[in-house]
């Protein structure tokens, strides 16, 4: 009788335990599969800021896995692991979700170091009156980058110099730059903010459509506390645009910084449009840098862009995509799905190397279905008004119809510029926190 009673009570527990074990095995199997896929494709190195997980502290709850919108994390052998590094965009949702503080956001890995400028606690570099805030200085979280922008302006308040037209010139209109702009206005500083792109948002603007950009509230100068939970890229950019319009912020778009030269009273900053005299410079630029160009005739035409934002706008056009990474393949594939759009993908090498397997497979299928013309070992020679001149693998020079060119060739990092103006650089190997 006692044995029967015991079995009655134990049965539900055993069933639940069995189901739990089976579920954990499935999670572990999927995690191993994703990890192996990344290794086979050579996609094991994250592009920038990413989570480093302390396995000795990880409890394997899976909270970080569930919190990651990009599905970059998986459970492997009962612990969380970054199984899809190239998917990670560093917004830190996993960091805030971890119940045991086992995650840090870091730059670089043991195999690939990443250069970070030396910044003091007041956000001033080793060069007097040059400040850095946001992603360039190692700040991955948007909320924290915005806080840094305000804090940098607080430090600049004591470094005004009446011998200049400006108290501070803010370079970059991402989260750090826009928060600094609000703070400069609030403190009644003489300022100008410039942004080399045609839109604000910095790295956020380059996120894929509908990606989650923020997972926590942020406090901004003038505006105050803003509740932002699971807000998408588009919603966040819309918010910043409203702030820009309502606060009448002094932000110049499509103006690129070209040089920063020390003067008696501060700095002379030369841009693509003007020259400014300023007491302080706040660098709130990202780490992706200026888009790498092809340096060919005709590249300055309006039909040439350096990222795909909306494939639908190219409906019915002849489009050339240049590049061999995932961004180039994904752009070409998205364009090929548009009605009456012809797509040519040009890459200077003989094969697509470090790209996701699924992108390589999709491209092969699209090429087989004549949706994309792939030209390996090819080079663009000239971009004309309605055509593009290309040299093919066999050295034949051809001219093809073209109404748009999308160049996905990466960016020129600002490290050389920082060294030129004297800012010291430290190399991080995935061990120092980026928050």
Residue 277 has pLDDT above 90, yes or no: yes
> Which alpha helices (DSSP H) does 300-353 contain, by range?
326-336
What is the CATH T-level fold of the domain 115-289+413-428, as seen in this structure?
FAD/NAD(P)-binding domain (3.50.50)
CB 84 within 8 Å of CB 69: no
Residue 374 has pLDDT above 70, yes or no: yes
Contacts of 114 (CB under 8 A, 6+ apart): 48, 107, 108, 427, 428, 429
Contacts by 253-261, CB closer than 8 A, 24 or more apart: 253/173, 253/195, 253/197, 253/198, 253/199, 253/200, 254/195, 254/196, 254/197, 254/198, 255/194, 255/195, 255/196, 256/194, 256/196, 256/290, 257/171, 257/194, 257/196, 260/130, 260/421
**Per-residue pLDDT tens over the stretch 86-108:** 778 676 788 889 999 999 888 88
CB 67 within 8 Å of CB 20: no
Distances (CA, A) of 283 to 177, 179, 365, 412, 421: 8, 13, 44, 16, 12
pTM of the model: 0.66
Q: Which two tokens stand for residue 171?
A: 């370079």
Q: Which residues of 348-379 are buried (b: 16+ CB within 10 A; e: fewer)?
A: beeebeebbeebbebbeebeeeebbbbbeebb
Lowest mean pLDDT among 72-76, 362-366, 393-397: 72-76
pLDDT at 29 (0 to 100) = 80
Q: Are strands 79-82 and 73-76 parallel, antiparallel or unpaired?
A: antiparallel
Q: How many CA atoms lie within 13 A of 229 on its CB side?
A: 2
Fold match, 115-289+413-428 / 304-410: yes
In this prediction, what percent of the chain has a pLDDT beyond 90?
A: 44
Decide which of 430 and 431 is more confident. Answer: 430
Instruction: Spell out the CATH class of 29-106.
Output: alpha beta
Sequence ranges of the domains in the chain: 29-106, 115-289+413-428, 304-410
Instruction: Spell out the CATH class of 304-410.
Output: alpha beta
Tell me the β-bridge partners of 389.
382, 399
């Amino acid at each position: 009788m006692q044995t029967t009673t015991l079995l009655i009570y134990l049965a539900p527990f055993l069933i639940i335990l069995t189901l739990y074990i089976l579920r954990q095995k499935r999670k572990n199997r999927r995690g191993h599969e994703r990890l192996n896929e990344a290794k086979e494709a050579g996609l094991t190195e994250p592009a920038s800021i990413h989570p480093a997980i302390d396995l000795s502290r990880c409890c394997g709850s899976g909270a970080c896995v569930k919190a990651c919108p990009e599905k970059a994390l998986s459970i492997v052998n009962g612990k969380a692991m970054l199984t899809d590094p190239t998917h990670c965009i560093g917004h830190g949702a996993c960091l805030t979700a971890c119940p045991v503080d086992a995650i840090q956001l870091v730059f670089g890995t043991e195999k690939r170091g990443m250069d970070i400028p030396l910044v003091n606690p007041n956000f001033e570099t080793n060069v007097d009156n040059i400040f850095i805030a946001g992603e360039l200085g190692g700040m991955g979280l948007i909320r924290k980058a915005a806080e840094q922008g305000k804090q940098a302006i607080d430090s600049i308040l004591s470094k005004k110099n009446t011998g200049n037209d400006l108290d501070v010139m803010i370079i970059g209109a991402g989260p750090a730059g826009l928060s600094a702009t609000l703070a400069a206005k609030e403190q009644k500083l003489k300022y100008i903010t410039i942004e080399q792109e045609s839109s604000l948002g910095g790295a956020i603007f380059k996120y894929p459509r509908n990606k989650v950009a923020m997972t926590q509230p942020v406090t901004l100068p003038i505006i105050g506390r803003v509740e932002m939970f699971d807000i998408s890229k588009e919603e966040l950019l819309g918010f910043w645009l409203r702030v820009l319009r309502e606060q009448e912020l002094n932000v110049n778009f499509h103006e690129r910084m070209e040089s920063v030269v020390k003067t008696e009273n501060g700095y002379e900053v030369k841009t693509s449009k003007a020259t400014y005299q300023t007491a302080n410079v706040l660098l709130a630029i990202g780490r992706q840098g200026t888009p790498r160009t092809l340096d060919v005739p005709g590249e300055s035409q309006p039909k040439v862009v350096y990222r795909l934002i909306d494939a639908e706008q190219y409906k019915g056009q002849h489009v050339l995509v240049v590049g061999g990474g995932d961004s180039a393949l994904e752009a070409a594939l998205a364009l090929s799905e548009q009605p009456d759009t012809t797509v040519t993908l040009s890459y200077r090498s003989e094969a697509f190397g470090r790209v996701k397997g699924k992108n390589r497979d999709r491209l092969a299928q699209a090429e087989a279905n004549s949706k994309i013309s792939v030209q390996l070992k090819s080079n663009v020679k000239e971009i004309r008004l309605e055509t593009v001149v290309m040299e093919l693998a066999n050295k034949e020079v051809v001219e093809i119809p073209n109404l748009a060119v999308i160049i996905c060739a990466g960016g020129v990092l600002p490290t050389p510029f920082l060294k030129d103006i004297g800012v010291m650089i430290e190399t991080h190997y995935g061990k120092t926190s980026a928050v």
